[in-house]
């Protein structure tokens, strides 16, 4: 019974959201699990099937029941209380919860599928009540296990190991950032956060990428960065300032990056037309969305804009606000009035006989042009309009500014009754269609995933992939504070390290790439170094630590420096390493020491 008490205490520490309030590295992650369509995280019932021995625990009462592999565990909630059946037999009635499923193996959720296969999860499953007699399903698991369910679903594994390592670090940074959007969990499992499909989606190469980046983060000024990434950046990434920063908030590592150093500045409309229609060499050029086009019949586009202008007006992105009270008709022109560093449309003007509208921000602009259920792949585009080629003799019936049938008695106007305008009030013919020529897929800020895949295919390592897309960053561990504690608890940092980056035998020949000079700059360093940083502002009397099996007990009371940086590469092995700091002596009870690691080339020292 005493053993179970400690198990219960350990599980409670894992599932408690307060366990994540402390600033520092997360070793466990709480993931909200959605339904098949990713439309809700709220459940009134669910069925679980473990493939190993499992315990079912009511965390309020401490009641515990054991279940065999492939048992059926039915959970439902009513009147704010849980009812749990095990293989059809009621075992918990009117339980307050949270209910925890914990044990060996994986836990499946009946009728829930990910990538067409049954969804199974490592770690713990927690059922926690929310409002309106519903509950969340929360998967609580280690950071490493979580990332193994993310990486192969955020990036094609065909992009190669080094690209997957870059993705693993980007995903680790994202998961470790403070998130206050959700009450019962840290992150969701959909594209609204990071795509997490659980244990059945893991692959050997993506697992290797996670394992070989253990403990490593992308950092800027001793803080994890906002690792924004998208599928395809069109050859030039966009700056955070122009998109998410609304022109006022800047993140110095999320600036615009141009792959092709020989690309000229695009000053004229002709320059832009060539850029968006031609496949200019860049690291993104293997993407199927590198260049694309969408064509709209004008009348079709008017109907689309009548709906999407109303939708985006509700977000505050349209001026003047379109209310839908008057019909939208007579589309004359779509002009891009403001562009970003990647020539992304940040503001457009829609001109029509029914009124002119200014639409701001990258995502609302993309959502305006919704066709067959999908909006524009990116906001990097130009618009061409096609003039009506029919002559006046063929259009005698269209001499009126517009034609419109009478509204039906019920006030409903059918599609064929909409205003169809052919000329402006000055008699000028309106366009018959609009063609949008675009480039890229996604917001285009930060790392381009197709770009990372291209770089990896030529042997560029993950460190240089990340440093290409996130300017001024370095790779290292999250700082840990060492202090005195009565239970003599050590402060441990585990991490993966490899002394030399070896280019894959399957890597392509960089000299055959149209970007051989750009690749040469990213392939120049193949040896890694590791530096231990100790910040000792309080000048503690004694400091003892291990680097793997090497013991260090320096006398630090005489240190004149408050900041110490020393290379420890020779004490490390290829593979998993560990640094262990002993707690400070009792006489240093009110003092702290901070330590962390930086990885990089010798020139970064």
Residues 93-109, mean pLDDT to the nearest whole number: 94
- Mark whether 419 and 484 lie in a shared domain: no
Higher pLDDT, 387 or 185: 185
Both 419 and 550 in a single domain?
no
Spatial neighbors of 387 by CB under 8 A, at least 6 apart, are 429, 431, 432
Q: What is the mean pLDDT of residues 424-449?
A: 93
Tell me the residue ranges of DSSP E strands in 395-522: 402-403, 420-421, 433-439, 447-448, 474-476, 480-482, 491-497
Confidence (pLDDT) at 341:
94
Domain closes at, from 409, 435, 461: 435
Does the residue 99 lie in any domain? yes
Considering the domain architecture, whether residues 44 and 123 belong to the same structural domain is answered as: yes
Does 244 reside within a domain?
A: no
Domain end position, chosen among 420, 435, 450 = 435
Whether residue 206 is found in the same domain as residue 60? yes
> Does residue 540 fall inside a structural domain?
yes
Our count of domains for the chain comes to 3
State whether 516 and 387 are in the same domain.
Answer: no
Q: Is residue 485 part of a domain?
A: yes
pLDDT digits (tens, 9 = 90+) for 169-225: 999 999 998 877 889 999 999 999 999 999 999 999 999 999 999 999 999 998 999
In a domain, 507, yes or no: yes
Closest CA to 174 of 31, 34, 15: 31
Residue 30 resides in a domain: yes
Q: Which of 240-249, 311-320, 453-462 has the lowest mean pLDDT?
A: 240-249
Q: What is the mean pLDDT of the chain?
A: 89
The domain boundary, picked from 435, 459, 491, lies at 435
Torsion-angle region of 250 (φ positive above 0: left; ψ -120 to 50: alpha; else: beta): beta
> Which tokens is 473 given?
């960053």
Rounded CA-CA distance 377/444 in Å is 10
Residue 324 lies in a domain: yes
429 & 352 share domain:
yes
Most confident of 332-341, 389-398, 498-507: 332-341
Residue span of the structural domain in which 140 resides: 2-219
CA distance linking residue 366 with residue 578, whole number of Å: 47
Give the residue carrying structure tokens 């079709």.
300
**Per-residue pLDDT tens digits for 221-270:** 989 999 999 999 999 999 999 999 888 889 999 999 999 999 988 888 88
Q: How sure is the predictor about 166, in pLDDT bands with cuts at 50, 70 and 90?
A: very high
In terms of domains, do 525 and 401 share one? Answer: no
**pLDDT on residue 179:** 78
Query: Do 410 and 483 share a domain, yes or no?
Result: no
- Do 484 and 401 fall into the same domain? no
Instruction: Give the helix ranges, DSSP H, for 500-558.
Output: 516-522
What is the share, in percent, of the chain residues with pLDDT greater than 70? 89
**DSSP string for residues in 223-281:** EE----EESB-TTBPBPGGGTTTTTT---TTS---BS-TTPPP--SHHHHHHHHHS---
Residue 468 lies in a domain: no
């Amino acid at each position: 019974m005493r053993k179970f008490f400690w198990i219960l205490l350990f599980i409670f520490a894992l599932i408690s959201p307060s366990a994540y309030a402390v600033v520092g590295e997360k070793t466990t992650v709480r993931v909200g699990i959605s339904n098949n369509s990713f439309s809700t995280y709220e459940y009134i019932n669910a069925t679980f099937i473990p493939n190993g021995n499992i315990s079912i625990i009511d965390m309020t009462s401490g009641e515990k029941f054991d279940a065999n592999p492939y048992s059926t565990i039915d959970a439902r909630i009513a009147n704010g209380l849980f009812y749990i059946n095990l293989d059809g037999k009621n075992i918990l009635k009117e339980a307050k919860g949270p209910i925890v499923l914990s044990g060996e193996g994986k836990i499946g959720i009946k009728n829930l599928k990910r990538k067409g296969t049954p969804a199974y999860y490592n770690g713990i499953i927690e059922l926690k009540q929310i409002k309106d007699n519903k509950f969340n399903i929360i998967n609580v698991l280690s950071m490493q296990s979580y990332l193994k369910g993310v990486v192969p679903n955020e990036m094609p594994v065909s992009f190669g190991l080094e690209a997957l390592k870059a993705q693993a670090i980007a995903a680790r940074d994202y998961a470790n950032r403070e998130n206050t959007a959700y009450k019962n969990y840290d992150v969701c499992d959909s594209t609204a956060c990071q795509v997490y499909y659980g244990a059945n989606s893991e692959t050997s190469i993506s697992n290797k990428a996670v394992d070989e980046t253990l403990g490593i983060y992308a950092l800027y000024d001793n803080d994890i960065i906002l690792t924004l990434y998208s599928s395809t950046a069109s050859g030039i990434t966009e700056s955070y300032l122009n998109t998410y920063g609304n022109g006022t908030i800047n993140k110095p590592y999320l600036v615009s990056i141009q792959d092709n150093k020989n690309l000229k500045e695009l000053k004229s409309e002709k320059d832009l037309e060539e850029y968006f229609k031609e496949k200019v060499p860049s690291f993104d050029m293997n993407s199927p969305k590198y260049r694309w086009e969408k064509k709209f019949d004008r009348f079709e586009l008017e109907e689309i804009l009548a709906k999407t202008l109303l939708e985006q007006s509700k977000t505050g992105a349209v001026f003047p606000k379109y209310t839908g009270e008057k019909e939208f008709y007579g589309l004359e022109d779509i002009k891009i009035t403001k562009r970003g560093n990647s020539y992304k449309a940040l503001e457009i003007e829609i001109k029509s006989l029914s009124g002119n509208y200014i639409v701001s921000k990258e995502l609302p602009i993309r959502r305006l042009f919704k066709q067959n259920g999908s909006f524009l792949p990116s906001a990097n585009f130009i618009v061409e309009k096609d003039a009506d080629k029919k002559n006046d003799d063929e259009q005698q019936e269209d001499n009126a500014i517009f034609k419109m049938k009478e509204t039906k008695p019920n006030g409903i106007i059918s599609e064929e009754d909409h205003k169809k305008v052919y000329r402006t009030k000055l008699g000028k013919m309106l366009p018959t269609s609009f063609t949008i020529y675009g480039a890229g897929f996604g917001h285009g800020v930060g790392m381009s995933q197709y770009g990372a895949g291209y770089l990896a295919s030529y042997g560029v390592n993950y460190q240089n992939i990340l440093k290409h897309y996130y300017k001024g960053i370095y790779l290292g561990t999250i700082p840990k504070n060492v202090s005195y504690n009565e239970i003599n608890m050590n402060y441990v940092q585990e991490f993966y390290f490899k002394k030399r980056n070896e280019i894959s035998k399957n890597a392509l020949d960089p000299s055959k790439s149209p970007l051989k000079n750009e690749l040469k700059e990213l392939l120049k360093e193949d040896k890694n170094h590791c530096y231990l940083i100790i910040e000792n502002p309080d000048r503690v009397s004694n400091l003892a630590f291990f680097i793997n099996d090497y013991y260090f007990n320096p006398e630090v009371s005489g240190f004149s420096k408050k900041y110490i940086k020393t290379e420890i590469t020779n004490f490390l092995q290829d593979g998993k390493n560990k640094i262990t700091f002993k707690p400070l002596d009792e006489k240093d009870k009110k003092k702290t020491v901070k330590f962390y690691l930086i990885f990089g080339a010798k020139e970064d020292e």
